[in-house]
Amino acid sequence: MDLTDIVRSLSGSGGSNQAAGLSALLGLLNSQGGGLGGLVEAFERHGLGDIISSWISTGPNLPISPDQLQQALGSAQISTFASQAGMPADGVGQVLATLLPSLIDRMTPNGQLPAGGAVPGLDVLKQLLG
């Protein structure tokens, strides 16, 4: 499954399905508080700092497993994302494990978190995923 397939599964056929999927993704990115900085802290607390640091840096992205994502984000956040995005709970971990490294890499093109660790709005997120 490549990024295009993931975006299609996340976005549905467009319109309100797409908005719901992207909104759910924004909620997940902000779920730890503090934007991307909060997400980095959550990964670091669970011993996964090297993984998320690779996504931010300009080098290759380290892979992450669905189990590691659940460990960093919490099962409640993963379930909430699945529900809001209209995706089956049993497959969402793999989708996020494929999507998040590329997305965070695109959000940090210079190898640094944006000022204040800001997470982009829906329009910017659409462009990043497009």
Model pLDDT for residues 9-34, shown as the tens digit of each residue:
555 544 455 567 777 888 888 887 87
Global pTM? 0.81
CA-CA-CA-CA dihedral for 112, 114, 117, 118, to nearest 10: -150
**57-87 pLDDT tens trace:** 999 999 999 999 999 999 999 999 888 888 8
Range of the domain at 16: 3-129
What total of structural domains would you count in the chain? 1
Contact predicate 105/60, CB 8 Å:
no
Contact predicate 93/70, CB 8 Å:
yes
**CATH number where 62 lies:** 1.10.10.690
Report percent pLDDT > 90 for the chain.
31
With a cut of 70, say whether residue 40 has pLDDT above it: yes
With a cut of 60, say whether residue 4 has pLDDT above it: no
